[in-house]
């Protein structure tokens, strides 16, 4: 019997009763850690739990889609895939994860769609992979799950349970695409966020062809982060924003105080120029966030972050000279605001100061200093190596995807890797944790750079604070360009502007459209998502806490950042 203050008191009795079922609570790697009621998993903050989504195709390659009944407590009246629910803490469903979700799928196909177990027990369910996402329906109800994706193919006769489903349609690819785009009869219909994510990550990459999907297996969990009702990543959570706001002023103070060591007025102006353009100071704050996630942060993390941020800006100054980019963070690049010689001199001085402040800090133990200096020195070497490879790529006849990933692992990811590694070292973490955090930073950085490439190709100059499409015009061998050049698809607009140095806005727009049509932009996005998933897996080695949640939000932030 429900009390008057129960969140279920005004809901359908049958749906309320099912809220007492016990779902499987899992960690970020989908390991079962316990069981909680369906109510506890979906109400308020909710809990991460295991789920499944069935994609049921008929022999004409049509997908069965359903409209959830208005009686449903979470996401009522929205369109979704064929069948979606949760394995329970019962025999047959709480053991082996894949066998468990298949058993649960057979149970729910009968309960929701009226397809008897005697029929589905002969079906072959193909396990395509898993994805994790969270989405709020309203202030009370949330979905927070690791969803196992199951493919089945059969000409099934369905008899929907009206308490669960208000409508079903066997739909071909074009109809579902119109649904996703909200066109025609779908203009006022709401599509569930998990169906959109399934479409984006499992169905569309296989051309909506169930024959191709039957051979598709993704062993890694696709981490989609927190999404809105349309499946789009939401802005960073309040915990990340609070953390960045809390630490930014302190690390900014460390940076500016450190740069004040340079008394030569013009040189000091050049050294501080880029810092006037603002920025989130992610790298500067990252060591502190890692220390907090490990549980042993200290003031030395601010000096460490300032050191890495100063050295990072030294690389940006030199990078802009090499590429002759005129804009950085909405400001004139240092070599434009001053001159090439002063910019080179400023960068050299910043590198020296970055190491100097570490050696002078009273908050960095002497026993840690050697490890920190060694790690940061290795970082600078990797960045230089990656930068040189990037330069030489422009004259090489062929650059492979592996070549490019290795290059950005040095040029960009090495800094994220070092922020995480040194933050863990300063927090006195054990060697295994230090290495896991370094791997998290490496994959975070790879995702960061791949997203940067996507933003450069699809953004605009005003938003980016640097010329849009500069990678295309300069003939940069990004993953997008490598895929396009190897695709064998004729792209006349891209071929015309790639490496041309300049073009009209219309020509650039046409080139980007061809990169979309060829699948090159989607290919790069999928690779970014792969490293996004790996980053989350490495975070799974830490005990969950608010501080670890901040790192998760930061990892998800890479998918939606603009600056």
Strand partners, 126: 151
Distance of CA 364 to the CA centre of its chain: 33
Chain segment 423-444, per-residue pLDDT in tens: 999 999 999 999 999 999 999 9
Distance CA 42, CA 213 (A): 30
pLDDT tens sequence across 176-196 = 999 999 999 998 899 999 999
Reduced to 3 states, what is the DSSP secondary structure of residue 469? coil
* Residue 88, CA distances (Å) to 23, 72, 263 in order: 5, 18, 67
DSSP 8-state secondary structure symbol assigned to residue 480? H
> Which one has a higher pLDDT value, 46 or 2?
46
Architecture of domain 238-557: Orthogonal Bundle (1.10)
**How high is the mean pLDDT of the chain?**
91
0.85 exceeded by pTM: no
Residue 553 pLDDT > 60, yes or no?
Answer: yes
pLDDT greater at residue 450 or residue 278: 450
| pLDDT per position as a tens digit, 133-184 | 999 998 889 999 999 999 999 999 999 999 999 999 999 999 999 999 999 9
Does residue 242 surpass a pLDDT of 50?
A: yes
Beta strands in 197-313 (DSSP E): 221-226
Predicted pLDDT at 293: 97
* Contact residues for 204 (Cβ-Cβ < 8 A; gap 6+): none
Task: Report the run of H or E that residue 204 belongs to, with start and end.
Answer: none
User: How many Å apart are CA 277 and CA 330, to the nearest integer?
Assistant: 7
13-226 CATH fold? Nucleoside Triphosphate Pyrophosphohydrolase (3.90.79)
CATH 1.10.600.10 in the chain, residue ranges: 238-557
Q: Where is 148: in which H helix or E strand?
A: strand 142-153
pLDDT in tens, 80-126: 999 999 999 999 999 999 999 999 999 999 999 999 999 999 999 99
Q: In whole angstroms, what is the distance from residue 112 CA to residue 76 CA?
A: 14
Say what the pLDDT of residue 462 is.
52
Task: Give rounded-to-5 percent helix, strand, coil for the chain.
Answer: 55, 15, 30
List pLDDT tens digits, range 444-456.
999 999 998 998 8
Better-predicted residue by pLDDT, 150 or 45: 150
- What pLDDT was estimated at residue 362? 94
Instruction: Report whether pLDDT(460) > 70.
Output: no
For range 266-293, the mean pLDDT: 91
Ramachandran assignment for 321, one of left (phi > 0), alpha (psi -120 to 50 degrees), beta (any other): alpha
Which residue ranges does the chain devote to CATH 3.90.79.10?
13-226
- Six-digit token string for 307: 């050191």
Closest by CA to 223, choosing from 73, 59, 3, 447, is 447
């Amino acid at each position: 019997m429900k009390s008057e203050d129960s969140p279920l008191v005004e809901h359908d009795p049958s749906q309320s009763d099912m809220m007492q079922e016990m779902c499987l609570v899992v960690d970020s790697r989908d390991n079962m850690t316990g069981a909680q009621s369906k109510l506890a998993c979906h109400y308020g903050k909710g809990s991460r739990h295991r789920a499944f989504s069935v994609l049921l195709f008929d022999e004409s390659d049509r997908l069965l889609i359903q409209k959830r009944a208005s009686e449903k407590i979470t996401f009522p009246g929205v369109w979704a895939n064929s069948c979606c629910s949760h394995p329970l803490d019962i025999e047959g469903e709480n053991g082996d994860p894949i066998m468990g979700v298949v058993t649960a799928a057979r149970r729910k196909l009968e309960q929701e769609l009226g397809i008897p177990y005697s029929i589905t027990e002969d079906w072959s369910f193909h396990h395509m992979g898993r994805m994790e996402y969270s989405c709020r329906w309203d202030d009370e109800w949330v979905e927070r799950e690791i969803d196992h994706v199951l493919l089945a193919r059969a000409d099934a006769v369905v008899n929907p349970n009206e308490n669960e489903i208000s409508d079903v349609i066997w739909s071909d690819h074009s109809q579902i695409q119109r649904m996703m785009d909200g066109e025609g009869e779908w203009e006022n219909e709401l599509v569930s966020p998990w169906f959109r994510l399934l479409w984006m990550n499992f169905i569309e990459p296989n051309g909506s062809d169930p024959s191709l999907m039957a051979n598709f297996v993704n062993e890694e969990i696709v981490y989609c982060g927190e999404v809105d009702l349309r499946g789009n990543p939401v802005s960073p959570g309040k915990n990340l924003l609070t953390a960045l706001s809390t630490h930014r002023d302190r690390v900014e103070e460390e940076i500016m105080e450190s740069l004040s060591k340079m008394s030569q007025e013009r040189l000091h102006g050049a050294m501080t120029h880029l810092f006037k353009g603002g920025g989130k100071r992610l790298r500067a704050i990252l060591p502190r966030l890692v220390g907090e996630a490990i549980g042993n942060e200290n003031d030395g993390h601010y000096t460490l972050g300032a050191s890495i941020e100063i050295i990072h800006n030294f690389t940006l100054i030199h990078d802009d000279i090499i590429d002759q980019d005129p804009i950085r963070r909405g400001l004139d690049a240092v070599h434009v605001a001053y001159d090439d010689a002063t910019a080179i001199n400023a960068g050299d001085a910043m590198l020296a100061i970055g190491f100097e402040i570490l050696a002078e800090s009273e908050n960095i133990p002497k026993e840690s200093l050697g490890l920190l200096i060694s790690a940061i020195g290795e970082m600078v070497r990797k960045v230089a190596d990656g930068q040189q490879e990037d330069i030489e790529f422009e004259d090489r006849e062929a650059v492979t995807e592996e070549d490019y990933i290795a290059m950005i692992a040095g040029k960009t990811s090495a800094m994220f890797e070092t922020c995480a590694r040194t933050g863990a070292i300063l927090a006195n973490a054990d060697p295994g944790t230090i290495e896991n955090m370094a791997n998290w930073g490496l994959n975070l950085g790879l995702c960061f750079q791949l997203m940067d490439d996507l933003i450069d190709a699809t953004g605009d100059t005003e938003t980016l604070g640097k010329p849009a499409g500069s990678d295309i015009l300069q003939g940069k061998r990004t993953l997008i360009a490598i895929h396009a050049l190897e695709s064998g698809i004729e792209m006349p607009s891209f071929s015309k502007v790639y490496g041309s140095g300049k073009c009209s806005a219309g020509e650039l727009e046409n080139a980007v459209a061809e990169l979309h049509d060829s699948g090159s932009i989607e290919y790069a996005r999928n690779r970014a998502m792969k490293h996004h998933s790996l980053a989350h897996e490495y975070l799974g080695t830490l005990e969950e806490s608010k501080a670890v949640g901040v790192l998760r939000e930061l990892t998800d932030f890479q998918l939606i950042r603009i600056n």
